[in-house]
Structure 1
Amino acid sequence: MRSVGVEEELLLVDALTGEPQALSTAVLAAVSREGGDEGEVFEAELHRQMLEFATRPQTSMGDLAEEIRRWRAEAARHAEDVGAAVVALATSPLPVSPVIGSGERYRWLEEQFGLTTQEQLTCGCHVHVSVDSDDEGVAVLDRIRPWLSVLLAMSANSPFWQGKDSGYSSYRSRVWGRWPSSGPVEIFGSADRYHQQVNDMVGTGALRDKGMIYFDARLSHNYPTVEVRVADVCLDPGTTVLVATLVRALVETAARQWRAGEPPARHGVGLLRLAAWRAGRSGLEGELIHPVTMRPAPAEAVVRALFDHVRDALEDSGDVVPAQEGLAALLKTGNGARVQRELLSRSGGLRDVVTECVSRTRG
């Protein structure tokens, strides 16, 4: 059974006004004072209005769900200690002036990328799935490429930007796409070619190091995993678990195809970028680009095609029923973008949207 770990980035906000607060240093100090293993769970991010946590690797999705809920609750508790709250939104609905964190790395990013760095107050969800080798990992990367846009549509949770409706379900994905190393990639064919590409990109001097390889999915440079980085942080922790479940099944399905000698789909990067744009624009409303045909199809049909694609792996891991239930709930309730817009239509104010989402973050 492949292990799965999740990293979630959360916004720090004022509990009453919903405005982002640059308090990550204070929150991490509160974590440190308590000691224990939480110092290895929470860490700062590019902007001080953000807090990240990482789960331990799990083979049981039930255990993963418990960890996600636990660390969200702990993040909320530590934020309360310094007069703030955490919220699982991929962008701030309210206007904000992001504060870049201290440290040489963040200063370098600000100097090199200017406004792109300043405006990267966005929160994602990264899913790590164990692989047996770099060869297997790259074979997986080559074969999951067409399906990543579907995960983006499912997780989309960033319709608002600087106090306005962006017109997108995941505006985070558009902001994140400003990094020169982000987005979908070509087929590598082998681990050697993957590593050569990474080394050549770093060698240009435009990237500081391998940590700036921001592909939608990559080999982790810290762990023996494939790291899928395409998703928004999800408002509902149940959606996070669903995305993680499907990512593990995608990895296992792709590894089986590789071992069976099945080649990856040859879709070009241009088509994959269009599919990602459509997913970020539409979310689960309207149409997506089908990963097999690369033609428009209803979003629900595309999501169900993803489920069918990985059904055998879900069956073998015992996740098929929870995944079916999670998909049904998501298609009924909608992703975070739909929920946020519905909250705005009922309350009339973005502050109310944020404060309600603070409550929902804990699930």
Structure 2
Amino acid sequence: MTAVTTETTGQAPFDPARPLMGVEEEYVVVDPVTRAAAPHAGAVVQRAAGALGGRTNLEITLYQVEAKTGPHARAAGLEEDLRRMREAVAAAAREEGLAVVASGTPVLGDVVPPPIIEGPRYEVGIQNYRALHDEQSICAGHVHVHLPDREHAVLVGNHLRPWLPVLITLMANSPFWTGRDTGYASWRTLCWGKWPVAGPPPYFSSLDEYERLTGTLAEAGVLVDPGTIFWDVRPSARLPTIEVRVTDVPATAAEAALLAMVARGLVMTGLRRVEHGDPGPAPSAELLRAAYWQAARDGLDGHGIDPMTGERRPARDLAGALLRHIAPALEETGDLADVTARLKALYAAGTGAVRQRAAYTRRGRAEDVVDDLVARLLT
């Protein structure tokens, strides 16, 4: 189940001026005493279902809880839903003597290999992907944006590809891995990139080309099912949405709302260009891969690579270029001033990765990082 569904929209017509958007998030369950990742996601999901119904579930390992908002046309409604959703999951964890954190990776705990949830689909996945599951206790933030059809979703995805590294820098929130500072702002990005159908999607000229390639991958045994097409932008297999799934889970609800507004702005901007016959830019796969790595390593306070030119530029300059690129769309939805203010606040406070390291530096204790993440979950 995902964030924007035909059931929850009531077959709502597509509105190009303000497309519906929804968010899926994954959280790490932790022991509030040891602060280590705790394999009790099943109990948290069961309790949270009382408040969230089917909008919460397990996600690959017993360390992770996934939760989803409903679809929203306006950012204020989405942010309110995000806060209610996070509070429901946090309350369920407290009732079980646990806590949850929004971090792209577990800060503490012996999580390799993780306990994988049971079920036929996951059994096939283990047979297929084997030790790739060892680092799957990672948590992402996904944004769904309503589009008219899958053809538009594939073509709009071409326009998003060059901007995906910037989204990684803005939401970088996974510097630690089981007690160690990895030296990266988004270690989750590196873990996830090992999978065979992950990272930036290829450039596609049409839905037919997309379906031919994914069909070939399925026949070759690379995919378990359409849900294992893990590219960072993809058309939903079941829903009228494009899914932007490139970032770490944002540390705060406010940052999750920022991510959703930016993602919708990118989708709207891409859609307008597709409708004017623009098939989208085609940066080289090598430059895009390098831009991903640079963004994951250095985050917002370092330099990034412009995948269109290969130029090395301050990451904040690239973020500014992103804002200028989507400003007309944000103006149309009424979100431009809000997004601008939130970006300034993010620049001042630092990304999730910066704040995690600051919490560690105060006393040199990874436990303090977990405590800080718990406190920030609802902010």
- How high is the TM-score relative to the length of structure 1? 0.97
Residues 180-226 of structure 1, C-alpha deviations (whole Å, 9 max, x = no match) = 10011221111111111111111111211111000110001121100
Aligned to 2:22: 5
Asked whether the equivalents of residues 347 and 353 of structure 1 are also in contact (C-alpha less than 8 Å), the reply is no
Correspondence for 2:48: 31
**What residue is the counterpart of 1:343 in the other structure?**
359
Does 2:377 match 1:361?
yes
Q: CA deviation at 1:347?
A: 2.6
Aligned-residue CA RMSD in angstroms?
Answer: 1.2
Q: Do residues 181 (structure 1) and 197 (structure 2) align?
A: yes
Q: Which amino acid aligns with 1:353?
A: V
Q: Secondary structure at the match of 1:222?
A: coil
Quote the residue 1:75 is aligned against: 89
Aligned residue number for residue 114 of structure 1:
130
Distance 1:174 1:350 in 2: 21
Question: Residues 186-205 of structure 1: matches in 2 within 5 Å?
Answer: 186-205=202-221
Deviation at 1:95, TM superposition (A): 3.0
Deviations 1:314-342 (A, max 9, x none): 00110000000011011111110000001
Q: Confirm whether residue 15 of structure 1 aligns to residue 28 of structure 2.
A: no
Equivalent of 1:86 in 100, 107, 118: 100
* Partners of 2:206 and 2:238 in 1: CA distance: 19
1:29–1:95 CA distance, 2 compared to 1 (3 A):
closer
The aligned counterpart of 1:129 is: 145
1:271-311, Cα deviation, whole Å (9 max, x unpaired): 11111111111111210112443311001110000000001
The 1-side partners of 2:288 and 2:255 are apart by: 23
Q: Secondary structure at the match of 2:117?
A: coil
Look up the match of 1:213.
229
CA distance in 2, matches of 1:282, 1:95: 24
Distance change in 2, residues 1:323/1:291 (3 Å): farther
Cα contact 1:65–1:241 (8 A) shared by 2? yes
**Structure 1 residues 41-50 or 191-200, which shifts more?**
191-200
Asked whether the 8 Å contact 2:159–2:281 carries over to 1, the reply is: yes
In structure 2, C-alpha distance between the alignment counterparts of 1:315 and 1:206, rounded to whole Å: 42
Rounded Cα–Cα distance in structure 2 between residues aligned with 1:119 and 1:184 = 19
Alpha-carbon contact 1:43-1:52 (below 8 Å) kept? yes
**What's the % identity of the aligned pairs?**
37
- Unpaired segments ≥5 residues, structure 1: none
Preserved contact between residue 110 and residue 118 of structure 1 (Cα < 8 Å): no
Contact 2:205 2:279 in 1 (8 A): no
How high is the TM-score relative to the length of structure 2?
Answer: 0.93
Please identify, of 84-93 and 133-142, the stretch whose mean Cα deviation from structure 2 is larger. 133-142
**Structure 1 letter corresponding to 2:34:** T
Cα distance, 1:178 vs. partner? 1.1
Using the TM superposition, give the Cα deviation of residue 119 of structure 1 relative to its aligned residue in structure 2, in angstroms: 1.7
Alignment-mate amino acid for residue 378 of structure 2: R
Check the 8 A contact 2:32/2:98 in 1, yes or no: yes
1:332 alignment partner in structure 2: 348
Q: Report the Cα distance in structure 2 between the residues aligned to 1:313 and 1:169, rounded to whole angstroms.
A: 29
Question: Which stretch of structure 1 is more off in the superposition, 66-75 or 93-102?
Answer: 93-102
Q: Residue type matched to 2:57 in 1?
A: E
**Which residue does the alignment assign to 1:141?**
157
Q: Secondary structure at 2:316's aligned position in 1?
A: helix
- The 8 Å contact of residues 343 and 353 in structure 1, kept in 2 or not, is answered as yes
CA distance in 1, matches of 2:48, 2:81: 17
Q: Runs of at least 4 residues of structure 1 off by over 4 A?
A: none
| 2:280 counterpart SS class | coil
Deviation, 1:94, is 1.1
Secondary structure of residue in 1 paired with 2:246: strand
SS in 2 for 1:194: helix
Equivalent AA in structure 2 for residue 309 of structure 1: H
Q: CA deviation at 1:16?
A: 2.3
2:3 alignment partner in structure 1: none
Q: Supply the AA of the counterpart residue of 1:336.
A: G
**In 2, distance between residues paired with 1:166 and 1:23?**
26
Match of 1:154 in 2: 170
Preserved contact between residue 34 and residue 367 of structure 2 (Cα < 8 Å): yes
Q: Distance in 2 between matches of 1:12 and 1:162?
A: 14
Distance 2:376 2:326 in 1: 29
- 1:40 maps to 54
In structure 2, what is the Cα distance between the partners aligned to 1:208 and 1:193?
20
SS of equivalent to 1:283: helix
CA–CA separation in structure 1 for the residues paired with 2:107 and 2:144: 28
Contact 2:356/2:372, CA 8 A, preserved across alignment: no
Deviations 1:47-98 (A, max 9, x none): 1011000111100000000011111000000011111011001101113232
Cα distance between partner residues in 2 of 1:191 and 1:217: 14
